[in-house]
């Protein structure tokens, strides 16, 4: 059950996820083939097919790390934002490339 549907590939569309799923499945099939192969064939498979499968799985791992880092970054930003009145200052201090207009900040309502 190694499927990218179980991971937050938020930047990918349905078609791209299907390609990643196929690459994962194909790479794992290569790994299983190598494990089941007789000793004489393993060395040859390790020099050829394993390198491609290993690179593919490494690529998927880097995508997962990037997704995880993005989620962690948003979590830290949300934690730093704290109260809504401090949100604009937190954004300007931590993300200078993002410009927030006055109308983008919701003013607290006094009751």
Would you state the pLDDT for residue 26? Answer: 93
Domain presence at residue 109: no
Domain housing 87: 12-104
Domain presence at residue 55: yes
In total, how many domains does the chain have?
A: 1
Quote the pTM value: 0.54
| Sign of the torsion angle spanned by Cα atoms 80, 84, 86, 91 | positive
pLDDT band at 100 (very low <50, low <70, confident <90, very high): low
Tell me the pLDDT tens digit for each residue of 59-91: 888 877 877 777 777 777 777 666 666 776 777
Domain presence at residue 2: no
Percent helix / strand / coil, the chain, rounded to 5: 75, 0, 25
């Amino acid at each position: 059950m190694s499927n990218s549907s179980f991971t937050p590939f938020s930047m990918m569309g349905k078609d791209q996820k299907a390609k990643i799923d196929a690459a994962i499945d194909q790479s794992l099939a290569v790994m299983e083939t190598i494990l089941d192969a007789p000793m004489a064939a393993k060395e040859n498979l390790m020099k050829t097919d394993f390198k491609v499968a290993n690179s593919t799985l490494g690529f998927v791992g880097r995508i997962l790390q990037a997704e995880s880092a993005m989620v962690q970054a948003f979590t830290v930003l949300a934690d730093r934002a704290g109260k809504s009145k401090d949100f604009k200052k937190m954004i300007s201090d931590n993300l200078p490339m993002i410009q927030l207009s006055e109308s983008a900040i919701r003013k607290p309502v006094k009751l």
